[in-house]
Amino acid sequence: MSDGLFAGRYELAELLGSGGMARVHRARDTRMGRIVAIKTLMPELALDPDARRRFAREAHAAGALNHPGIVTVHDQDEYRDGDTVVPYLVMEYVRGGTLSELVREQAPFEPERAVRIVCDILDALAHAHSHGTVHRDVKPANVMVTEEGAVKVADFGIARVLDTDTRLTTAGSSVGTPSYMSPEQINGRDVDARSDIYAVGCVLTELLTGKPPFHDGSALSLMYWHVHSAPPAPSTRNPRVSAELDALVMAALAKSPDDRPADAGVYRARLWAWLTAARSATLSGPATLPPSDFGLAKPAPRPAAAPAPGSTPAPAPGSAPGSASARPSAQPSPPAPPAGADPRATFGVGGALPSLPAQGPPAQPIPGPYPAGAGTPAGAGTPAAAPLEHPAYSRSPQVPLPPPYQPSTPPPVNNGTPPLHRPAVRQGPPAGPAAGVGLPSDTPPAPTPGWSARRKVLTGVAGLAVAGITVSVVLATGALGGDKPDPGPDPHPPTSAPVDQQAALQRHGGKAGTGFNGGNNGVVRPSTQTGGTVHLATSNFPDALLDPADTYDPSAWNIQRLLYRSLVSYAPAPGDKGRQLVPDLATTTGGVSDDGLTWTFHLKKGLRFQDGSAITSKDVKYGIERTFDQDVHPSGSTYLSDLLDEGQHYPGPYDDSDPGRMGLKSVATPDDGTVVFTLAKPYADFPYILAMADGAVVPPSADTGGGKDYEEHPVASGPYKVSAYVPGKSLQLVRNTEWKASTDQVRSQLPTGYQLKLYDSQQAVEQAVLDGSADLDFTQSLLDDDTETKVINDPSRKADADLAYTGATRYLSLSTDQAPFDDVLCRRAVAYAVDREQVQAALGGQYEGGDIATTMLPPTNISHDPKANMYSSTTGEAEEQYARTELTACGKPDGFSTTLVGVAGASKGQQAMEAIATALAKVGIKVTVKTMDAGAFYDTLLSPTKLKAAKWGMVYTGWVGDYPTGGGFLRQLVAPGSESNYAALDDSTLNSMIDQADTLTSPSAAKTAWTKIDAQVLSDAATVPIVYDRHLVYRGPRLTNVYQQQVLGEIDLTALGVK
């Protein structure tokens, strides 16, 4: 303890409860000024280093979950007091009680009410499963019910700490709660999402009948019955349960996981369909009313808030329980509890908790970041609702992400596949595994600086990565401040001047697009109309959103293009035209010397920052120098420092000994209008690096506070500037009057401004875009299954959607340092035998499964060859005859055995790997599929030494490039010694081809060279392409000039207008 504070910052209050695993205390976070719950591991567990590591790993997985139906994990750490180590979690403090208390008071429930409660539990579990997290201990005691009747699931993953501890799991015992354990969990087998489904079936039975399926026996008896006895149908105990509902419950209670619903999302959809058919009133409003015995002091009445414009009373499937739109305008109040009752929540730590003494409100208001008039936070004894908390966790830049898509980082591919980046949000350092490629959402360890740091992993069920920060919520719903962003009445409505569609088309590539997929290769609703505000919604604010040196997230890059300019940029057009570099601040895309070592750029005339000061070559150089200081800017890419340091060990401008902070020797500024770069060796892709956020121009005088102030006080050179910014919460941009359209062929200045606001969940974001409260999902994440269904099945909505490429390729990496994959012929046998069509189906088919991949380079890459089909046609069927021929040639006519390793937790990814194994088995290749949590998976995958020692035969993953050249995608995947060269490929022919390609200064010659390199990569068969990732993007109907910018993998914000 330091100054009486636990871990130096928490004031511990009373013990809320304890069990066999942990204790929970109420506490006050003195740094953030909020009330929290702190859970500490029991001493016998804390003494075990392995248990502590598992605790930390599972806590990180739980901390990555951001859902209104999940109790938020704010932080995890270890507190040391002498020789004592105390691992702890800091969690959201919820005013309410547990579902077990509700069951004691109200069960059996009306069937419709029971199903609605379980649907909300499943909604939370579906989010967790999509992020690779299995609860493992679902039971009423681990489900919170708030004062408003909303459901929140607690204690994700904590049971796993005990699961592999042989001292605590002795013969005859298993981790979990016997009344709710699945047969496979009891037998000590691997568990996945389907084990949680079984537990939910037990909970639903208890809600319907008052008891779980098996009860009134010893722990061993209960576990025996779960494994060997048929559960009774709920209708045998409650005649109000229909035969249809009986069948749904019994499906969840199937003994074999294969006979249960595949995951929480599937099961929820079936139950919701039953609820809808029943025309139940429980479709709207909170899941339930809180029990009278919660002991909650009734809060003083608050004035009713006006409903958000466009809100509807009934939540759609998948909407957050207890959200503003889910509550009716009036709701019966629960009976007033006894005076002085306990307003605290417990978290199901090992069964029923001891009774607690009455607790009154604190004597003084608790200081903290609360809005004026909010008083102390909810849960602290006051009636005011607490605002959204500051984020406690954020995804590391450029690491395996789930859907939508970060630039160049190895992604865990998903859809239940390993992660790649986009649908959810992307963040991280340079190129790497593709993010958002149907991988689980667990985030791998943060990459180390350097080329190896450029990895984008894709995670997330059915989608690309959602990078971004996990925002903790204390019973707050809807957009920050309680209201959705409302586009009307707009103080700056669009003009009524005639619209010149031809002028808009001329600027943006010349082709109009309409209807579904219209934005992929055309401009939807071309217009020159000005005025109005573009409303952007997000549930994940990227870290360092506005500092170009400290961000590695496509969504951040997208909005930064409104603020900052660089020497070169990408053409403002859809399709392949958007991959072309065009001059921005410079007059050309750069002049290069014959030896490829010197690049010269001349600035245009009349360039100015928002304060009217001239933009000079020194501002260009300074912006580049900032990226060298990875201590101040740890989240940015390292491309420029890798290319330009050249042994100088330049520390960045903050420790620069040069009086003008211009000490980087490889960048010269002979005059105010000229910038000269000198490289140590040729690098044909150098201008593409300058087009990234790293190349943004920054005035040295504005970069105060050792570089840390620029994020909140940026200086614009583009068409918009910041008028208001609350990091992590909101951003408002207005027109920059010093910007001149005549100097900028990339950006437009149609809207009066842009507003970005935070919502409490991704579901809320999607609902806001669907109902018109917002125009666009800022991160353009993978759509929730329910939202996707609404869009696909509604012709008018589908017409405003694109099935967009993320730029990621899902592929198999075959370990060339492990037999038999040290033989290229055995590797080719795998490439021929994979049935890509079946993998595509496993990943979700037409709208989620992507396109069949015939090369490693995706269609969004300049060097992609659409005619290449060495191992498979575009239909994706297996070539079994050729596979057997290759097996015979490599001396394995009867096949061989190997392993396939991927990230656990994403059902569609698991199904994809099983489809691969099934196809290979047809030619005699016996595959053992192995899944691991994301932390352990990437800890091994990103370490060549550990990867070799692990002896993995094949790895299922994904990759996306940071820029659209062949080198930008392939270089790191095949370069000897690269951390991203998971296959350990070292082909002298290939290496020579790459060295030669890097000397080329002609774009067309470089394009051809990398197409040939891609063909050589296919011939080596160390990487086997499976599918090109795509995801559904919905664009608000008010937006004009809408198109998919292929390099960003997003709708181009710089072109938008509103009608």
User: Tens digit of pLDDT for each residue in 761-812?
Assistant: 999 999 999 999 999 999 998 888 888 888 988 889 999 999 999 999 999 9
Say whether pLDDT at 18 is over 80.
no
Question: Is the Cβ–Cβ distance between 526 and 767 less than 8 Å?
Answer: no
Strand partners, 730: 726, 757
Report residue 347's pLDDT band, with 50, 70 and 90 as the boundaries: very low
Question: Looking at per-residue confidence, does 1051 or 412 come out higher?
Answer: 1051
**CATH 3.10.105.10 describes domain 810-1026:** yes
- The per-residue pLDDT for 695 is 96
- pLDDT confidence tier of residue 204, bands split at 50, 70 and 90: very high
Residue found under tokens 């591991």 = 41
Block residue for tokens 């937006």: 1039
Share of the chain above pLDDT 90, in %: 56
Please tell me the least confidently modeled range out of 390-404, 777-791, 1039-1053.
390-404
Mean pLDDT of 514-518: 94
Specify whether 137 is catalytic.
Answer: yes
pLDDT for 852 beyond 90: yes
Candidate from 85-94, 205-214, 408-417, 528-537 with smallest mean pLDDT: 408-417
Average the pLDDT over 426-452 and give the result: 35
Predicted confidence band of residue 373 (pLDDT cuts 50, 70, 90): very low
Give me the catalytic one of 75, 137, 553, 835.
Answer: 137
- pLDDT tens digit sequence for 740-760: 999 999 999 999 999 999 999
Q: How far apart are CA 789 and CA 284, in angstroms?
A: 20
223 pLDDT tier (thresholds 50, 70, 90)? confident
Tell whether the model's pLDDT for residue 99 goes beyond 90. Answer: yes
Angle (CA) 932 181 252, round 5°: 90
Alpha carbon distance 981, 974 (integer Å): 5
How distant is the alpha carbon of residue 627 from its chain centre?
25
Q: Is pLDDT at 420 greater than 60 in this prediction?
A: no
Q: In this predicted structure, what is the pLDDT of residue 538?
A: 95
Q: Which of 57-71, 335-349, 695-709, 971-985 has the lowest mean pLDDT?
A: 335-349
φ and ψ of 678, to 5 deg: -120, 115
The residue among 947 and 42 whose pLDDT is bigger is: 947
Mean pLDDT over 391-413 rounds to: 28
Secondary structure percentages of the chain, helix, strand, coil, to 5: 30, 20, 50
Asked if 16 and 353 touch (Cβ cutoff 8 Å), the reply is yes
Least confident span in 488-492, 746-750, 935-939: 488-492
Kindly report whether the global pTM for this prediction surpasses the value 0.75.
Answer: no
Summarize the confidence of residues 884-901 as an average pLDDT: 96
* Bind-site residues for ATP: 39
DSSP 941: H
Q: What is the pLDDT of residues 128-169, one digit of tens each?
A: 888 888 888 899 989 989 888 889 998 875 544 444 433 333
From 849, 17, 915, 968, select the one nearest 409 (Cα to Cα).
968
- Which residue is it, tokens 């068409």? 719
- Whether 52 and 61 have beta carbons less than 8 Å apart is answered as no
Alpha-carbon torsion (199, 202, 207, 212), positive or negative: negative
Give the pLDDT confidence score for residue 732 in this predicted structure.
Answer: 97
pLDDT band at 937 (very low <50, low <70, confident <90, very high): very high
Amino acid at 138: V
Angstrom distance (rounded) from CA 898 to CA 900: 7
> DSSP letters of 76-110?
EEEEEETTEEEEEEEEE--SEEEHHHHHHHHPSPP
pLDDT at 494 (0 to 100): 58
Pick from 748, 755, 847, 851: which is nearest to 801 by CA? 847
Cα 508 from chain centroid (whole Å): 30
Residue 600 neighbours by CB distance under 10 Å? 17
Secondary structure string (H, E, C) spanning 981-1020: CCCCCCCHHHHHHHHHHCCCCCHHHHHHHHHHHHHHHHHH
Instruction: Compute how many other C-beta atoms are within 10 angstroms of the C-beta atom of residue 299.
Output: 16
Question: What pLDDT, on a 0 to 100 scale, did the predictor assign at position 435?
Answer: 33
10-92 CATH pick, 3.30.750.24, 3.40.190.10, 3.30.200.20, 3.50.50.60: 3.30.200.20
pLDDT of residue 132: 82
What is the reported pLDDT for 375?
A: 29
Report the pLDDT averaged over residues 606-624.
98
Known binding-site residue numbers: 39
Residue 732, amino acid: Q
Cβ–Cβ contacts within 10 Å for residue 484, how many? Answer: 27
Of 23-37, 683-697, 716-730, the poorest mean pLDDT is in 23-37
- Domain residue ranges in the chain: 10-92, 98-155+171-295+312-326, 554-714, 810-1026
3.30.9.10, 3.40.50.720, 1.10.510.10, 4.10.490.10: CATH of 98-155+171-295+312-326? 1.10.510.10
Most confident of 5-9, 477-481, 549-553, 698-702: 698-702
**Over pLDDT 70: what percentage of the chain?**
76
Least confident range from 290-304, 825-839, 977-991: namely 290-304
Most confident of 322-331, 399-408, 693-702: 693-702
* pLDDT of 707 above 70: yes
Averaged over 526-555, what is the pLDDT?
93
**Best-predicted range by mean pLDDT (73-77, 400-404, 704-708):** 704-708
Burial of 688 (0-12, 13-18, 19+ CB in 10 A): buried
Q: DSSP character for 345?
A: -
Residue 579 is which amino acid? R
Same CATH topology for 98-155+171-295+312-326 and 810-1026?
Answer: no
- The rounded distance, in Å, linking the Cα atoms of 837 and 751 is 44
Among 288-292, 437-441, 448-452, 800-804, which range has the highest average pLDDT? 800-804
* 167's tokens: 């001292």
The CATH number assigned to the domain with range 554-714 reads 3.40.190.10
Omega of the bond leading into 257 within 30 degrees of 0 (cis): no
Q: Hey, which of 344-353, 386-395, 548-557, 900-909 has the most confident mean pLDDT?
A: 548-557
9 pLDDT more than 80: yes
CA-to-CA distance for 46 and 43, rounded, in angstroms? 5
Q: Are 438 and 420 in contact (CB under 8 A)?
A: yes
**Is the pLDDT assigned to residue 450 strictly greater than 70?**
no
| Number of residues that make up the chain | 1059
Give 9 or 774, the one with higher predicted confidence. Answer: 774
Mean pLDDT of the chain: 79
What is each CA distance from 457 to 138, 437, 608, 819, 913, in whole angstroms?
29, 8, 38, 27, 17
Helices (H) and strands (E) in the chain, counts: 28, 33
Q: At what angle do helices 264-277 and 785-793 cross, to 10 degrees?
A: 60
Helix axes 785-793, 762-771, angle to 10 degrees: 20
- Which letter, b or e, does each residue of 423-433 get, where b requires 16 or more Cβ atoms within 10 Å of its Cβ? bbbbbbbbbbb
Mean pLDDT of 730-740: 97
Higher pLDDT: 540 or 628? It is: 628
